[in-house]
């Protein structure tokens, strides 16, 4: 074959190599048979019984190719020549079929088999690729306009699915959808055969990761095997999203820890959904890399903002947990910690670092205990939320401005996601492990000691009398309200004002150390 240089693709290269090797392969069958003293008309049976059984097992293959070897041997035609003859016959048949198609005007002959699996690729463009059992592309469909734009410039039918996926993500890079900062690819595979579907998902995920790494992008591949049902299909259809995205939204809404509604998640980009998915370990497939979070303020800043809003110092906080969450269609840090026998929960805007919501101060309940979680949930359920932000009647009574009060629960639940989650902080403030890959040097564990040196704060600074009267002084009056930390701080008493001042000092020194 001859190709125009400007049309060279990966598919052409691999096909061309195969054709060139096929054409240049020497035919040495005859000499081999002679050297091996193989009788061309007889089959030696060293072990008659077992050979018969094996021959029986071999029958399907033999039946398919039975005629050619026998005839070729009788007529003195080598195996390779016979193979080429079969190839000629096939090509002739294909030509005949093509002529019939042209003459009759019927649809083109489809050399791919029936649909075997559907591979979804979501970045922002959404594309679904249907493949046959040989992993060849039967068709590709766009889920949205961006996907249509990508597909309009591609021809991936009949390609191997890995090559097709490479081409799709390469086009997404070219068009600026997939970049260093927007680096997430949601890969979703669905198939009637779950084992095979999972195998395909794993293979494509590996391949895509290798391909993107070679393209100087540190990708976040979030693989999932999707089990569809009518409800999922309807949800995807109603909202014009891919089945894969619908599946991820379902998995996230199933997360008790997250407590978000599907409507809230629909407003998120693929990058943000993948971020939440990875943070909550809801993947049902193979994942590589972490979503880029450099545009967010970072987990340590979120914690500082929350502490500032609570009027606490870092060393006051125990069982600190910071995870990504979602509120009103935006990514937030859900910050939870214990302090002074109370549980605190905050949502901090991930982009601005402003405290959007804080709630759930439950005296005498540990965030680590199941009982604590239960009491926390009961307390939250009993809340009489008020969007006007009126003061709480007492420190176990709260208002809320949204239905996302469960977000605060992130600080109350035992973590089972491992330290690899990108936005998670667990443990005491003194030894917080910050795993945010995009945090700059000067992470929390190191900062705290530095800050202590600067401010002179020591753990347990609050005196016992204050702890005996949590409702008056030590436990800040915490309300659920939207707004920034300044608004929250205005509500604190003088003791808290002092702490707030200290927290601001901490915040400042932390940012300085970040710089």
Site for another protein in 12-71 (CB under 8 A): 13-29, 31-33, 35-36, 38-40, 42-47, 50-51, 54-55, 57-58, 61-62, 65, 69-70
The single residue among 130, 162, 271, 412 that binds another protein, judged by CB under 8 A, is 162
Query: Mind giving me the DSSP string for 316-336?
Result: G-EEEEEEEEEETTEEEEEEE
Site for another protein in 215-274 (CB under 8 A): 215
From residue 7, how far is each of 10, 154, 176, 403 by CA, in Å?
10, 12, 23, 55
The single residue among 7, 192, 195, 230 that binds another protein, judged by CB under 8 A, is 7
CA-to-CA distance for 398 and 304, rounded, in angstroms? Answer: 22
CA-to-CA distance for 157 and 150, rounded, in angstroms? Answer: 14
Q: Which is nearer to another protein, 36 or 515 (CB)?
A: 36
The single residue among 122, 128, 167, 434 that binds another protein, judged by CB under 8 A, is 167
Binding segment for another protein (CB under 8 A), chosen from 4-12, 396-404, 435-443, 507-515, is: 4-12
Indicate if the alpha-carbon torsion angle 509, 424, 275, 174 is positive or negative. Answer: positive
Q: Which is nearer to another protein, 216 or 381 (CB)?
A: 216
Q: Residue 15 CB, nearest distance to another protein (Å)?
A: 7
| Count of residues that interact with another protein, criterion CB under 8 A | 78
CB 331 within 8 A of CB 271: no
Q: Which is nearer to another protein, 134 or 471 (CB)?
A: 134
CB 393 within 8 A of CB 421: no
Site for another protein in 112-141 (CB under 8 A): 134
Q: Residue 123 CB, nearest distance to another protein (Å)?
A: 16
Q: Residue 159 CB, nearest distance to another protein (Å)?
A: 9
Q: Residue 405 CB, nearest distance to another protein (Å)?
A: 43
User: Other C-beta atoms within 10 Å of 481: how many?
Assistant: 24
Answer yes or no whether residue 402 interacts with another protein by CB under 8 A: no
Place of tokens 């400007």: 6
Site for another protein in 72-111 (CB under 8 A): 73, 79-80, 82-83
CB 395 within 8 A of CB 477: yes
DSSP H helices, 175-261, are 194-214, 230-239, 243-254
Binding mask 207-226 for another protein (x = CB under 8 A): x-xxx-xxx-----------
- Orientation angle between helical segments 48-65 and 67-74, nearest 10 degrees: 90
Site for another protein in 418-457 (CB under 8 A): none
Q: Which is nearer to another protein, 151 or 243 (CB)?
A: 151
Radius of gyration of the chain (CA): 32
User: Other C-beta atoms within 10 Å of 487: how many?
Assistant: 15
Q: Residue 71 CB, nearest distance to another protein (Å)?
A: 12
Q: Residue 156 CB, nearest distance to another protein (Å)?
A: 9
Angle at 161 between CA 156 and CA 166, to 5 degrees: 75
Q: Which is nearer to another protein, 155 or 295 (CB)?
A: 155
Q: Residue 203 CB, nearest distance to another protein (Å)?
A: 6
Q: Which is nearer to another protein, 77 or 383 (CB)?
A: 77
DSSP class of 177: S
The single residue among 141, 146, 170, 466 that binds another protein, judged by CB under 8 A, is 170
- Orientation angle between helical segments 299-310 and 444-455, nearest 10 degrees: 40
Q: Which is nearer to another protein, 160 or 375 (CB)?
A: 160
Q: Residue 153 CB, nearest distance to another protein (Å)?
A: 6
Q: Residue 171 CB, nearest distance to another protein (Å)?
A: 7
Residue 76: φ, ψ to 5°: 75, 25
Q: Which is nearer to another protein, 217 or 276 (CB)?
A: 217
Q: Which is nearer to another protein, 38 or 96 (CB)?
A: 38
Closest CA to 132 of 160, 165, 90: 160
Q: Residue 180 CB, nearest distance to another protein (Å)?
A: 15
Exposure string over 56-82, b if 16+ CB within 10 A, otherwise e: eeeeeeeeeeeebeeebbeeebbbebb
Q: Which is nearer to another protein, 179 or 472 (CB)?
A: 179
Q: Residue 104 CB, nearest distance to another protein (Å)?
A: 28
Q: Which is nearer to another protein, 155 or 239 (CB)?
A: 155
Contacts of 362 (CB under 8 A, 6+ apart): 342, 343, 372, 375, 376, 379, 396
CA-to-CA distance for 354 and 483, rounded, in angstroms? Answer: 7
CB 180 within 8 A of CB 218: yes
Q: Residue 416 CB, nearest distance to another protein (Å)?
A: 28
Binding mask 288-307 for another protein (x = CB under 8 A): --------------------
Q: Which is nearer to another protein, 139 or 417 (CB)?
A: 139
């Amino acid at each position: 074959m001859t190709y125009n240089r400007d049309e060279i693709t990966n598919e052409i290269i691999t096909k061309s190599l195969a054709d060139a090797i096929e054409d240049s392969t020497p035919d040495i069958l005859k000499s081999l048979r002679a050297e091996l003293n193989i009788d061309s008309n007889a089959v030696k049976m060293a072990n008659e019984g077992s050979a018969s059984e094996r021959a029986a097992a071999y029958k399907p293959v033999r039946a398919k190719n039975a005629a050619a070897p026998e005839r070729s041997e009788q007529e003195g035609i080598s195996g390779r020549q016979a193979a080429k003859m079969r190839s000629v016959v096939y090509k002739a048949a294909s030509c005949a079929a093509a002529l019939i198609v042209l003459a009759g005007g019927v649809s083109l002959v489809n050399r791919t088999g029936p649909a075997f699996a559907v591979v979804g690729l979501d970045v922002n463009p959404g594309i679904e690729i249907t493949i046959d059992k040989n992993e060849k592309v039967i068709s590709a469909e766009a889920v949205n306009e961006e996907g249509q734009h990508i597909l309009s410039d591609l021809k991936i039918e009949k390609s191997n699915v890995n090559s097709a996926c490479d081409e799709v993500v390469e086009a997404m890079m070219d068009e600026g959808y997939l970049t260093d900062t927007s680096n997430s690819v949601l890969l979703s595979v669905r198939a009637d055969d779950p084992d095979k579907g999972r195998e395909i998902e794993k293979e494509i995920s590996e391949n895509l990761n290798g391909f993107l790494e070679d393209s100087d992008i540190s990708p976040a591949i979030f693989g999932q095997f999707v089990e569809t049902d009518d409800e999922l299909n309807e949800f995807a259809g109603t909202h014009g999203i891919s089945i894969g995205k619908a599946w991820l939204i379902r998995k996230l809404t199933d997360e008790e820890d997250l407590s978000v509604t599907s409507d809230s998640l629909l407003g998120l980009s693929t990058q943000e959904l993948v971020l939440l998915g990875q943070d909550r370990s809801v993947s049902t497939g193979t994942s590589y890399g972490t979503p880029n979070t450099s545009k967010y303020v970072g987990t340590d800043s979120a914690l500082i903002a929350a502490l500032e809003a609570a009027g606490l110092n870092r060393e006051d906080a125990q069982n600190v947990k910071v995870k990504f969450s979602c509120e009103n269609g935006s990514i937030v840090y859900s910050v939870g910690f214990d302090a002074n026998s109370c549980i605190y929960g905050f949502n901090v805007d991930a982009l601005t670092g402003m405290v959007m919501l804080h709630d759930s101060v439950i005296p005498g309940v540990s965030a680590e205990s199941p009982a604590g979680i239960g009491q926390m949930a009961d307390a939250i359920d009993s809340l009489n939320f008020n969007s006007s932000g009126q003061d709480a009647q007492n420190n176990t009574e709260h208002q809320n401005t949204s239905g996302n009060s469960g977000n605060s629960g992130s600080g109350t639940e035992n973590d089972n996601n491992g330290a690899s989650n990108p936005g998670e902080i667990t443990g005491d403030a003194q030894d917080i492990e910050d795993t945010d890959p995009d945090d700059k040097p000067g992470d929390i564990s190191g900062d705290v000691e530095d800050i202590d040196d600067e401010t002179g704060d020591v753990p347990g600074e609050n005196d016992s009398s204050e702890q005996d009267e949590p409702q008056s002084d030590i436990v800040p009056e915490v309300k659920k309200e939207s707004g920034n930390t300044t608004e929250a701080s205005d509500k604190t008493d003088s003791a808290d004002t002092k702490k707030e001042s200290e927290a601001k000092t901490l915040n400042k020194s932390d940012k300085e150390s970040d710089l």
